[in-house]
Amino acid sequence: MRIATRLTDRLRLRHPIISAPMGFAAGGALAGAVSTAGGLGLIGGGYGDSDWLAKEFKRSGNRPVGCGFITWSLARNPGLLDQALDRNPRAIFLSFGDPEPFASSVRAAGVPLICQVQSLDDARRALDVGADVVVAQGAEAGGHGEKRATFTFVPEVVDLVRQRGSDALVCAAGGVADGRGLAAALMLGADGVVMGSRFWASSEALVHPNLHRSALAASGDDTVRTSVMDIARRLDWPSRFTLRVRKNAFTESWHGHEADLLADIGTQSSRYRDAWANGDPATAAVMVGEAAGLIHDIEPAGDILLRTVSEAVAVLQNATSRLLVDDPLTPGH
């Protein structure tokens, strides 16, 4: 059973699902498992660690995986892109900054370019630089993002692509964690989805078990968009992007009190590093989005992907069977 779309055709996939290149979580094992199951698995290039990237590509084996980068961070170490391109990746995924400095290298290598966007201006820029896939990310997403909601943002990007006469594909991201989300994205005009939180909660993800347990106990109401984790980690994120995480004692103490956190950054940064190393969910970031309430188990990524497709097929078939076609000119119908 499969769902064929333009995404599956162009990227040679069996299923229209891409795993998000989540920093610190999406390593080679996760990317490889998603690709083996018929989707596109992406390694998260993170914040510029060449040795880590080499290790995770090795862990992916010979499976056809891609790689994602935080664009403003990649600008500080552009050699990482060459390192990834040398591995003949299935795709390169860029987000959270201007893709233009890197787009020509990706295209020259004959590798599909995926650009994740958070606004229509971002989408226009992605099309200008020749993105093959534009990922419309809604604020429901875990990890970094901005303000738009997936349900309205995706069709606006779809319309923009059509208005521009582009053949770029569109994927939906943010809040997609099961077959209902995949089916909804396809109905909005997307060619596929990028799933983050659901694969973050997989057995292959590089996530401490304590943080996994914390995520399973959460609902979407338990998440918040905040900058305090980035401040504690001393990561200089652009101000437009915040991080969606599960609320915990750390966010409750410092969200809304960022200036006080900065004033005590030496102590709090050290405290955060220790909490991250020990998997302490009261302080460390549990990076799940509003889809947290749809996640109930830590499972192999391949099982998650195949069940998502099966659920989507059932949802779409059921929706078709419930249609009642009446004469639109008949009064009362």
Residues noted as catalytic: 144
- How far apart, in whole angstroms, are the C-alpha atoms of residue 131 and residue 240? 22
Helix (H) or strand (E) holding 154: helix 150-163
Q: Which two tokens stand for residue 141?
A: 């997403």
CA distances from 99 to 11, 45, 46, 228, 249 (A): 20, 15, 16, 26, 36
Pairing of strands 113-117, 133-137: parallel
Q: Is the dihedral of CA 232, 138, 312, 294 positive or negative?
A: positive
CA atoms within 13 A on the CB side of 208: 14
Phi, psi of 195 (to 5 degrees): -110, 125
* Amino acid at position 115, single letter: C
Spell out the residues 6+ positions from residue 131 whose beta carbon is closer than 8 angstroms to its own: 99, 103, 113, 114, 115, 168
Residues in the chain: 333
Q: Which two tokens stand for residue 124?
A: 């226009």
* Amino acid at position 305, single letter: L
> CB–CB of 155/189 below 8 Å?
yes
Q: Which two tokens stand for residue 191?
A: 């060619």
Number of CB atoms found within 10 A of residue 187's CB: 13
